[in-house]
Amino acid sequence: MAAARAYDEMYRPDAAVRAPYRGFESWLAEQSAEAMRDKRAEADLVFRRVGITFAVYGDQDADGSGTERLIPFDVIPRIIPAAEWRKLEAGLRQRVKALNAFLHDVYHEQAILRAGHIPAEQVFRNSQYRPEMHGVDVASQIYSHIAGIDVVRAGAGEFYVLEDNLRVPSGVSYMLENRKMMMRLFPDLFARNKVAPVAHYPDLLLNNLRSVAPQGVDEPTVVLLTPGMYNSAYFEHAFLAQEMGIELVEGQDLFVRDNAVWMRTTRGPQRVDVIYRRIDDDFIDPLAFRSDSSLGVPGLLSVYRAGRVTLANAIGTGIADDKSIYPYVPAMIEFYLGEKPLLANVPTHLCRKKDDLAYVLDHLPELVVKEVHGAGGYGMLVGPAASREEIATFAKRLRASPDNYIAQPTLALSTCPTYVESGIAPRHIDLRPFVLSGREVTMVPGGLTRVALREGSLVVNSSQGGGTKDTWVLER
């Protein structure tokens, strides 16, 4: 079982405490179990009162409104030493730069396809490729202004990029609220450990969004477009809009007139320049994409293509974070930047290739198989945790539509001590740092650490029972 030999973030194999955790570990040893239980209860209470909840698709309360749930929060932080973070940060910046260069290229000259580094049909036959974007010039040639890159640590402690999230990555509000909660519950911990702050993220984000306003707009009006309060990430939308002091708008609040986007206000229409949209491409303009969408703004795409409004992220970024494109990211880095990749990819089998498919079908019990367009941990198979029947069913699906799947070796994701029913036990974690790209690339140290709370589970998604932890980058 993977858990037995996984790299533990706090303890070395000989049970000694790793250096970055020493301060925390000695502090924890001084706390009584009872005091810690009270603190954990307090955290739950505060999260509920503050309304830091997420809506669950499909679930309904007795009164018919959607169910709101707390994402379990674990009070043991995940700690990253400064030197390790510096390496990670450099690798993430490099990766996102290359991904943005790829997006610009693939909607313009397509040099990387012509050079033969990526098969052209991989791009053009992909439903995430948006022909509408071909030849459209976006501000600063940036497509993914906000990227969430999922990173895991495996083997002897080396980092791998598990996936890139370049469309509407979420989770940053939990990163910020987790820190706020830790500082509230354990102020003395922060006096003893030099933890790099993250609270200025909304400032960086606003600055980033302002920097990509359409040409000629000096004082841009920035808004955040949400699908509405029943969306699972609504808390985050409202939180970020408030932190940045911008309007939180729904599709119905916006309209297109005279080749510009406006919002309906109590004093009449007001021009909008930058839209931080948290709605998928498919729903953003019923005239251009799904006509049954009531969430979007009719006519938005034509204003966007004319360069008279900025969408962050751009339309069509899905072509770069698609799991079938993922294996080519190291090639992108070399092609566009002329550099060696600083962060490793997980070796990936593309099931659309005959040899790969045969290998995958032979090795299903050891592999993780994912849907190419899937997200949120839905529709995936974790071989070592699956029953015989589950594997057999999955193999049938795989044979029926191999193009739809990729497979990767089951990584022994690193573990971090975590509060569970029986006390403290190691649980698998990942990390989602957020990379902001505009006129420059900015980041806050750390990111969101997600933890799989079920013993042995490798699925950290909140929709699948995952929790979160505060993520500390130590300043020294």
Partner 1 sequence: MLSRTADHLFWMARYIERAENTARMLDVNLSTALLPQSAEEAERGWRAMLGISELLPAYDARHAHLSKRDVLDFMVRDPNNPSSIFNCLQSARENARAVRGAITTEVWETHNGTWLELQRLLHERLPERDPQQFFEWVKFRSHVSRGVTIGTMLKDEAFYFVRMGTFLERADNTARLLDAKYHGAEDTRELFADPGAEGIDHHGDFYYWAAVLRSVSAFEIYRRVYRNVITPARVAELLILRGDMPRSLASCINEVCLNLEMVRNASSNETERRAGLLRAELRYGRIEDILGQGLHSYLARFLERVNDLGGRISQDFLVPLAVH
Sign of the alpha-carbon torsion through 343, 94, 223, 207: positive
173 closest CA partner among 228, 243, 278: 243
| Structure-block tokens of residue 89 | 């940060």
CB of 294 to partner 1, least distance (A): 14
CB of 63 to partner 1, least distance (A): 5
Please tell me whether residue 258 binds partner 1 under the rule CB under 8 A. Answer: no
At residue 460, the 3 state secondary structure works out as: coil
Length in residues, the chain: 476
Question: Which of the 8 DSSP states describes residue 51?
Answer: T
At residue 449, the 3 state secondary structure works out as: strand
Whether 283 and 296 have beta carbons less than 8 Å apart is answered as: yes
Taking the C-alpha atoms of residue 429 and residue 25, their distance in angstroms, rounded to an integer, is 18
Q: What residues contact 256, with CB distance under 8 A and at least 6 apart? A: 262, 297, 298, 299, 300, 302, 303
Q: Which residue among 4, 32, 49, 421 contacts partner 1 (CB under 8 A)?
A: 49
Please tell me whether residue 41 binds partner 1 under the rule CB under 8 A. Answer: no
Please tell me whether residue 42 binds partner 1 under the rule CB under 8 A. Answer: no
47 closest CA partner among 223, 198, 213, 180: 180
Please tell me whether residue 5 binds partner 1 under the rule CB under 8 A. Answer: no
Q: Which residue among 200, 257, 353, 363 contacts partner 1 (CB under 8 A)?
A: 257
152 closest CA partner among 233, 96, 54, 78: 78
CB of 309 to partner 1, least distance (A): 17
Please tell me whether residue 255 binds partner 1 under the rule CB under 8 A. Answer: yes
Antiparallel, parallel or unpaired: β 434-437 and 441-442: antiparallel
Q: Toward partner 1, which CB reaches closer, 4 or 62?
A: 62
Q: Toward partner 1, which CB reaches closer, 112 or 240?
A: 240
CB of 250 to partner 1, least distance (A): 7
Q: Toward partner 1, which CB reaches closer, 134 or 264?
A: 264
Site pattern 260..289 for partner 1 (x: CB under 8 A): --xxxxxxxx--------------------
Of 149-157, 246-254, 402-410, 436-444, the window that binds partner 1 (rule: CB under 8 A) is: 246-254
Q: Toward partner 1, which CB reaches closer, 91 or 299?
A: 299
Whether 414 and 157 have beta carbons less than 8 Å apart is answered as: yes
Site pattern 55..74 for partner 1 (x: CB under 8 A): --------x-x---------
Please tell me whether residue 390 binds partner 1 under the rule CB under 8 A. Answer: no
CB of 206 to partner 1, least distance (A): 13
Amino acid at 12: R
Please tell me whether residue 253 binds partner 1 under the rule CB under 8 A. Answer: yes
Q: Toward partner 1, which CB reaches closer, 253 or 390?
A: 253
Please tell me whether residue 303 binds partner 1 under the rule CB under 8 A. Answer: no
The footprint of partner 1 on this chain (CB under 8 A) covers a number of residues equal to: 29
Sign of the alpha-carbon torsion through 285, 302, 250, 140: positive
Please tell me whether residue 248 binds partner 1 under the rule CB under 8 A. Answer: yes
From residue 270, how far is each of 7, 183, 189, 219, 416 by CA, in Å?
54, 40, 47, 13, 49
Q: Which residue among 38, 51, 90, 200 contacts partner 1 (CB under 8 A)?
A: 51
At residue 56, the 3 state secondary structure works out as: strand
Q: How far is CA 329 from the centre of its chain?
A: 17
Site pattern 202..241 for partner 1 (x: CB under 8 A): --------------------------xx----x---xx-x
Please tell me whether residue 294 binds partner 1 under the rule CB under 8 A. Answer: no
- Percentage helix, strand, coil, to 5, in the chain? 40, 25, 35
Residues that bind partner 1 (CB under 8 A): 48-51, 63, 65, 228-229, 234, 238-239, 241-242, 247-250, 252-253, 255, 257, 262-269
